[in-house]
Amino acid sequence: MVPEKKTLFSQPSWIIRSDEVELAVTELGGHMAPVTFFRNDRPFEPYYINPWYAEDIPIDTPVLKPLRGDFFCMPFGERNSYREEVHEVHGETATGYWSLANYGRTGNVVSLSLTMETKVRPGRTTKILRLVDGHNAVYCQHILEGYSGKMCLGHHATLDPHGEADTMNISVSPIKFGLTNPHLTGQENNGEYYALESNKSFKNLEKVPTMWKEYPYDDLTVFPRRRGFVDIVQVYNKKKKKPGWVCAVYIKEGFLWYALKDPRILPSTVIWMENHGRHQPPWNGRNCCIGLEDVCAYLALGLRESVRKNRASEKGVPTYLNLSEKRPTVINYIQGAAKIPKGFDKVRKVKMGQGEVTFLSYSEKSVTVPLYHWFLYTGSLEEPKDTF
């Protein structure tokens, strides 16, 4: 079988469908968008797509050409060199061409497999995307083979807030601490404007230091916020065997987007808040999106800074993985959506059940969805005999 392939928003893309979800992934960079959840009943498309896709303009940063939705970064972060390697922003897996390896349906599962042979750090990456009938979720898997050495990596889910200020509520699983971006000087740099104070730690996303004396803290659990600015922070999860999570509630639309991870592999979340704060091309002050990016990295500073001693690693948080040619490294990840009841405000807690997940809000509302959450640890959609 061969999946449907067509050009969407100027990028050739493979398309797969279940009875609930339609998903497109670009050949260039493997960027996953658009994705339509509840496609036959109140369709919901949470992922962001760049506004310059149809413009004939020069783009010097390769990852910006297809920029959309979620993509796998290896290494995660800005362009820099490490030993004799020179990596582009977010690496080859986010900027190179993927090849179709396999596609098909088995029972109620549709799967698409893509591969890439990377050159800067030689090895093979396999991307497998699975959809399950009855589930509004995408089961993502990346298998890294033939690699050796230290590497920072992660997912780069980028969401579209779909409208006016303060309409999206963000929450993450319990954190040890968070950090603001460390290398910024002043409020402006190269056409970018920042609101948060540089190189500060915090313990709560609702109270993060800003540069403003009259307004010294701001709440990062609400977006869009601080129009005219772009900021990046990173939060570090408390060590737990249970899945880590990040959620975005679309209050007016009545939906919840979520991502689940194994926090032993992806121990932190980078939050990129772009609210018309970048004025260099191709941004030109017109972008409003939020990146909720589960990673093993040091902020978005790239491989060199992630493998060095840094403020996160000093506190015992891993900021890179050790890859080995002798065994594959597997990154399992789940992204999905749920319809929320009226009055559901912000996710407070996520509970794993028997083939389901329940999201509980601060307003004491809840929603339960079918989900094979054990996939995060087993890489399989078949329920294990010993559930956790």
Q: What would the mean pLDDT of 283-294 be, rounded to a whole number?
A: 98
Q: What would the mean pLDDT of 193-210 be, rounded to a whole number?
A: 96
Confidence at residue 349, expressed as pLDDT on a 0 to 100 scale? 98
pLDDT tens profile 108-163: 999 999 999 999 999 999 999 999 999 999 999 999 999 999 999 999 999 999 98
- Look-up of token digits 């928003």: 9
Q: What would the mean pLDDT of 1-29 be, rounded to a whole number?
A: 98
Long-range contacts of 192-201 (CB under 8 A, 24+ apart): 192/230, 192/277, 192/278, 192/279, 192/280, 193/228, 193/229, 193/230, 193/277, 193/279, 194/229, 194/230, 194/231, 194/277, 195/226, 195/229, 195/231, 195/277, 196/231, 196/233, 199/311, 201/177, 201/311
Residue 250's pLDDT band, with cuts at 50, 70 and 90, is: very high
**C-alpha–C-alpha distance, residues 202 and 176, integer Å:** 9
Q: What would the mean pLDDT of 370-380 be, rounded to a whole number?
A: 98
**C-alpha–C-alpha distance, residues 65 and 10, integer Å:** 9
pLDDT tens profile 299-322: 999 999 999 999 999 999 999 999
* Residue percentage of the chain with pLDDT more than 90: 94
Q: Is the pLDDT of residue 184 over 70?
A: no
Residue 339's pLDDT band, with cuts at 50, 70 and 90, is: very high
Confidence at residue 229, expressed as pLDDT on a 0 to 100 scale? 96
**What would the two tokens of residue 159 be?**
């969401």
Task: Identify the bridge partners of residue 352 per DSSP, sorted by sequence position.
Answer: 357
C-alpha 233: how far from its chain's center? 14
**C-alpha–C-alpha distance, residues 90 and 68, integer Å:** 13
Average of per-residue pLDDT values in the chain:
96
Is the pTM here over 0.95, yes or no?
Answer: yes
Confidence at residue 245, expressed as pLDDT on a 0 to 100 scale? 98
pLDDT tens profile 159-179: 999 988 889 999 999 999 999
Q: Residue 225 phi/psi, 5° resolution?
A: -155, 155
- Are the CB atoms for 168 and 161 separated by under 8 Å? yes
* Residues present in the chain in total: 388
Confidence at residue 387, expressed as pLDDT on a 0 to 100 scale? 57
Confidence at residue 241, expressed as pLDDT on a 0 to 100 scale? 82
Report the 10 Å Cβ neighbour count for 150: 16
Confidence at residue 1, expressed as pLDDT on a 0 to 100 scale? 84
* Residue percentage of the chain with pLDDT more than 70: 98
Ordered by where they begin, the domains of the chain are 4-378 (2.70.98.10)
Confidence at residue 320, expressed as pLDDT on a 0 to 100 scale? 99
Q: Is the pLDDT of residue 374 over 90?
A: yes
pLDDT tens profile 274-287: 999 999 999 999 99
Cα within 13 Å of Cα(169), Cβ side:
17
In sequence order, which residues have a C-beta less than 8 Å from that of residue 310 and are 6 or more positions away?
298, 319
Residue 187's pLDDT band, with cuts at 50, 70 and 90, is: confident
Confidence at residue 164, expressed as pLDDT on a 0 to 100 scale? 83
pLDDT tens profile 86-107: 999 999 999 999 999 999 999 9
**C-alpha–C-alpha distance, residues 125 and 296, integer Å:** 17
